[in-house]
């Protein structure tokens, strides 16, 4: 691989996470050119949006060669799980280009919950007890449910767009859902295997790790708010807001996360002979005073990225260059001690059906917040809504309340038809 210095980067994805990545890269003197595929109205102000679907590897290749790209940062999980990194390594024209994100085998940590559970058990990483079932073992699955306590946690093994986890109180209903997942392919291919898991009761947090497969850096911890309704009620969404740091992570708890979870994860990948260059997002739950892994993701989280990256003082591009070259060890990670929060403005009706194309006004009145675009696009010089999650309002403050009140002041300055947001981000802390 060629040595990097000043780089031309392609970011794949179109959400608030990708806008935040671009915003952070843009601060680096090492950035030479920034292309985003497909991007949104926010990324358009930082680089060149290209109307290429990240799932179309042939089109990505064409773009990479046309734009003379040196490094590709993969935002969402799908291209990774589908092997975009392997695609680059297997193609003589693309072999010299660095891909930030794991190869297909390591991406199974997110792409297969069964694989992830086996990995954790093999490396003694604390997680909920589980058993996995297929159509051939449905009856064993039902019998297993009878031995478990309510609530029952049923997870489709594969990617199911964040909808593949069911938490069910009634035993009979749990058995029926298990049948529906295995016999009726409730989640399609994703539920060919179902993981049945012990329910863990506690408070969740997100831990992002940057690794070159040898060394690692733990990025600032964050907590996201997934439910649509205030007080964490109602349907699950892609994320309605996030905060960082997480006040209940003290030094002792952080040390447990490092020694019981992060180190064994990196060591485990090494022992299994699975190279990994990229981000690992570990979804954690604090049960009493101990951390357990709920899930692995092989990318950054959204909207956590919108609070994590603004708290990183170090040059992200420099970190990624060192990561790509296998030299992460020589880098240090400097962070801002202050609080960051982000509040997501969403379309009316989301996470159910919603309309797109609503003009967004008031963005010129923003003061002291950063607006990361998610579902937006430019139509005839006007910024309009283009998704369920529309924009994340990020602010920094000495305390959490200061950060939150800046975000809420700015949310009040922006309008679009049907705009909705949670007024209680951070309510539980
Ligand atoms: P996942 O897609 O694995 O992140 O699961 C979605 C959500 O389900 C998590 O964020 C948790 O809130 C919840 N969840 C998953 N597994 C468990 C578990 N074993 N115990 C309690 N809650 C869980
Ligand atoms: N915020 C959760 C996720 O990105 O999956």
Residue with CA nearest ligand 1 atom 18? 199
For atom 9 of ligand 1, the residue with the nearest CA is 294
pLDDT of residue 1: 62
* SS3 state of residue 98: strand
Give the dihedral sign, CA 244/249/251/255: negative
| CB 114 near ligand 2, within 6 Å | no
Burial of 125 (0-12, 13-18, 19+ CB in 10 A): buried
What DSSP line would sit under 205-219, residue for residue? EEEEEEESSS-EEEP
Dmax (CA) for the chain in angstroms is 60
Q: In what order do the strands lie in the sheet with 370-373?
A: 223-229, 233-244, 339-346, 389-397, 370-373
Question: Any residues with CB less than 8 A from the CB of 411 and at least 6 apart, and which?
Answer: 343, 345, 393, 421
Domains and CATH numbers, the chain: 8-102 (3.40.50.20), 130-197 (3.30.1490.20)
Q: Which residue has a Cα nearest atom 14 of ligand 1?
A: 294
Query: 143: buried, middle or exposed (CB in 10 Å: 19+, 13-18, 0-12)?
Result: exposed
What pLDDT score does 337 carry?
Answer: 97
pLDDT at 140: 94
Instruction: For ligand 2, atom 4, name the residue with the nearest CA.
Output: 301
Q: Find the residues whose C-beta lies inside 6 A of ligand 1.
A: 128, 153, 165, 197-200, 204, 283, 294-295
110 lines ligand 2 (CB under 6 A): no
CA distance 300 to 371: 18
> In this structure, which ligand is nearest to the CA of 242?
2
Per-residue pLDDT, 410? 98
Per-residue confidence (pLDDT) for residue 184, from 0 to 100:
84
Q: Residue 400 in contact with residue 426, Cβ under 8 Å?
A: yes
- SS3 of 204, please? strand
Q: Whose CA is nearest to atom 5 of ligand 2?
A: 301
C-alpha span between 124 and 138 (Å, rounded) = 27
CA–CA dist 138, 305 (Å, integer):
39
> Which residues, other chains included, contact 351 with Cβ-Cβ below 8 Å and sequence gap of 6+?
228, 235, 236, 237, 238, 388
**pLDDT tens series, the chain, 429 aa:** 656 787 999 999 999 999 999 999 999 999 999 999 999 999 999 999 999 999 999 999 999 999 999 999 999 999 999 999 999 999 999 999 999 999 999 999 999 999 999 999 999 999 999 999 999 999 999 999 999 999 999 999 999 887 889 999 999 999 999 999 898 888 888 988 999 999 999 999 999 999 999 999 999 999 999 999 999 999 999 999 999 999 999 999 999 999 999 999 999 999 999 999 999 999 999 999 999 999 999 999 999 999 999 999 999 999 999 999 999 999 999 999 999 999 999 999 999 999 999 999 999 999 999 999 999 999 999 999 999 999 999 999 999 999 999 999 999 999 999 999 999 999 988
pLDDT of 428 = 87
Q: Is the CB of 306 under 6 A from ligand 2?
A: no
Q: Indicate which ligand has the atom closest to the C-alpha of 286.
A: 1
Instruction: Ligand 1, residue 127: give the atom nearest the CA.
Output: 19
Which atom of ligand 1 has the smallest separation from the CA of 200?
Answer: 20
Query: Considering only CA atoms, which residue is closest to atom 3 of ligand 2?
Result: 301
Q: Is 302 in the pocket of ligand 2 (CB under 6 A)?
A: yes
190 CA from centroid of ligand 2 (Å): 18
- Write the residue with the smallest CA distance to atom 7 of ligand 1: 165
Residue closest to 407 by CA, chosen among 368, 375, 373:
368
Query: The pTM is what?
Result: 0.96
- Residue 6's pLDDT is 75
Q: How far is the CA of 165 from the centre of ligand 1 (A)?
A: 7
- Token pair for 382: 């006007």
For ligand 2, say whether the CB of 70 is within 6 Å of any of its atoms: no
Q: Which residue, by CA, sits nearest to atom 2 of ligand 2?
A: 301
Strands 203-211 and 194-197: unpaired
Task: Determine the Cα–Cα distance for residues 11 and 47; give it in Å rounded to an integer.
Answer: 10
Picking from 246, 263, 293, the residue whose alpha carbon sits closest to that of residue 110 is 293
Atom of ligand 2 nearest to the CA of 301: 4
What pLDDT is attached to residue 162? Answer: 75
């Amino acid at each position: 691989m060629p040595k990097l210095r000043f780089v031309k980067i392609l970011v794949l994805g179109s959400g608030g996470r990708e806008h935040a990545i671009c915003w952070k890269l843009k601060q680096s003197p090492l950035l030479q050119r920034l292309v985003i595929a497909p991007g949104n109205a926010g990324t358009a102000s930082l680089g060149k949006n290209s109307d290429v679907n990240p799932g179309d590897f042939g089109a990505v290749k064409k773009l990479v060669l046309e734009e003379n790209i040196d490094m590709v940062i993969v935002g969402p999980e799908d291209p990774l799980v589908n092997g975009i990194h392997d695609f680059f390594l297997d193609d003589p024209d693309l072999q010299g280009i660095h891909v930030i994100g794991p190869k297909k085998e390591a991406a199974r940590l997110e792409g297969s919950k069964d694989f992830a559970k086996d990995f954790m058990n093999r490396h003694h990483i604390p997680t909920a007890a589980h058993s996995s079932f297929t159509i051939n073992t449905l009856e064993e699955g039902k019998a297993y449910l009878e031995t478990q306590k309510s609530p029952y946690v049923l997870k489709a093994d594969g990617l199911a767009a964040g909808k593949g986890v069911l938490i069910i109180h009634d035993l009979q209903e749990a058995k029926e859902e298990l049948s529906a997942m295995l016999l009726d392919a409730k989640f399609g291919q994703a539920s060919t295997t179902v993981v049945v898991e012990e329910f863990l009761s506690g408070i969740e947090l997100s831990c992002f790790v940057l690794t070159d497969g040898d060394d690692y850096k733990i990025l600032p911890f964050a907590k996201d708010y997934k439910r649509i309704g205030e007080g964490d009620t109602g349907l699950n969404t892609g994320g309605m807001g996030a905060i960082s740091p997480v006040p209940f992570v003290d030094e002792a708890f952080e040390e447990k996360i490092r020694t019981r979870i992060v180190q064994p994860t990196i060591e485990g990948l090494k022992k299994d002979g699975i190279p990994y260059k990229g981000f690992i997002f570990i979804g954690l739950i604090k049960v009493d005073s101990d951390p357990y892994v709920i899930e692995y993701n092989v990318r950054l989280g959204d909207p956590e990225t919108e609070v994590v990256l603004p708290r990183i003082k170090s040059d992200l591009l420099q970190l990624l260059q060192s990561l790509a070259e296998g030299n992460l060890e020589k880098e240090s990670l400097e962070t801002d001690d202050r609080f960051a929060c982000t509040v997501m403005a969403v379309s009316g009706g989301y996470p159910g059906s919603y309309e797109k194309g609503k003009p967004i006004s008031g963005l010129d009145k923003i003061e002291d917040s950063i607006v990361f675009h998610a579902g937006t696009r430019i139509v005839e010089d006007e910024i309009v809504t283009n998704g369920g999650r529309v924009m994340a309002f990020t602010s920094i403050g000495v305390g959490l309340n200061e950060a939150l009140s800046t975000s809420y002041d700015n949310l009040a300055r922006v309008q679009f038809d049907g705009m909705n947001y949670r007024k209680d981000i951070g309510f539980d802390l």
